[in-house]
Amino acid sequence: MSEDKTQSKKKNDRLINAVLAGILVLGLGLLVYPTFANWWNSFHQSRAVASYMKAVANLDPEEYDKVISEAEAYNGRLAMTGILWHMDAAQLEEYNRILDITGTGIMGYIDIPKASVTLPIYHGSDEAVLQVAVGHLEGTSLPVGGASSHCVVTGHRGLPSARLFTDIDKLVKGDTFTISVMNRTLTYEVDDIHIVEPTDLSNISITQNQDYCTLVTCTPYGINSHRLLVRGKRTENAAGTANVTADAMQLKPVYVAPLVATPMLFVLLLGILIKTRKPKPKKEGDSHGE
């Protein structure tokens, strides 16, 4: 074999090795990313909740009472006017100020045992918020409870980087979730589940003398053409009977990544086996006159 052919073969071997190494790194990255990213987001969500709780603990009684009174007065006005779907600049400024004791936009946190998540609740439903946490829908009642109030909390599902509301379709009638604002922990028992068009707002209006909180996310998974509404009614009793389920189907990102990565790793393994396979020794007389 000539020297040029030898050098060319070595270059091809290095190129093949580089391609196989790249496939390996990419495949392992796809396998690890959802788990790591979700852990990382959960870590920061936990820190945000802990910082909020510390800020609440450091409030003096007068400031605490003032914050709660402002939120209750805000809800009282909404009970008379209805949900504010179109807020002007002054109304938006007031909304963003109330309950924001940390200056970060957090107004409390939600705990959903059935979905195994505890998430900070931020003012508003901007995409920047929904990528890392859940948001309170502007114009709806603030999550401090009270008669004739209806708080709406919205979140994404199916993100590869965070679970968020991915599993709220597991909630059924009788399940409970809690919302903690300041030193108050409000328990809501799921009493209604609907899948509606994105423009259908009839199920999140304020009902006189009722204390509701509705969780909202997109459905079905990957299509997001409708909205899943899981409504809870304020209760002091956490017991309940599960009897109604949401009909949305989903495939978790943690399952999607291995489905993509496994064929890539298989190709890598096959390439390594082919490359490292030893050639069969030539039998005597097979040189054909070479």
Domain ranges of the chain: 61-254
Residue 277: how many CB atoms within 10 A of its CB?
A: 8
> Which residue's structure tokens are 């073969």?
9
User: Cα separation of 123 and 142, whole Å?
Assistant: 10
Q: Is the pLDDT of residue 194 over 90?
A: yes
pLDDT band at 259 (very low <50, low <70, confident <90, very high): very low
Residue 195 near residue 231 (C-beta atoms within 8 A): no
pLDDT at 161: 63
pLDDT band at 248 (very low <50, low <70, confident <90, very high): very low
pLDDT, tens digit, 9 for 90 and up, residues 40-69: 566 777 888 999 999 999 999 999 999 999
User: Cα separation of 80 and 127, whole Å?
Assistant: 30
pLDDT at 46: 82
The H-assigned helical ranges of the chain are 3-57, 61-81, 89-97, 127-130, 253-276
pLDDT band at 219 (very low <50, low <70, confident <90, very high): very high
CATH 2.40.260.10 describes domain 61-254: yes
pLDDT at 105: 95
CA angle 204, 106, 155 (to 5 degrees): 45
Residue 108 near residue 181 (C-beta atoms within 8 A): yes
pLDDT at 244: 29
pLDDT at 17: 64
Least trusted range by pLDDT, from 121-125, 147-151, 274-278: 274-278
Greater confidence, 38 or 106? 106
pLDDT at 279: 57
Per-residue tokens: 266 = 């298989």
Q: Is the pLDDT of residue 270 over 80?
A: no
Q: Is the pLDDT of residue 240 over 50?
A: no
> Which residues partner with 172 through β-bridges?
245
pLDDT at 255: 43
pLDDT band at 253 (very low <50, low <70, confident <90, very high): very low
Report the amino acid identity of residue 193. Answer: I
DSSP 114-173: GGTEEEEEEES--HHHHTTSEEEPTTSPPTT--TTEEEEEE---S-TT--TTTTGGG-BT
Q: Which helix (H) or strand (E) holds 217?
A: strand 211-219
> 261: closest CA among 37, 31, 32, 35?
31
Note the pTM of the prediction, 2 decimals. 0.70
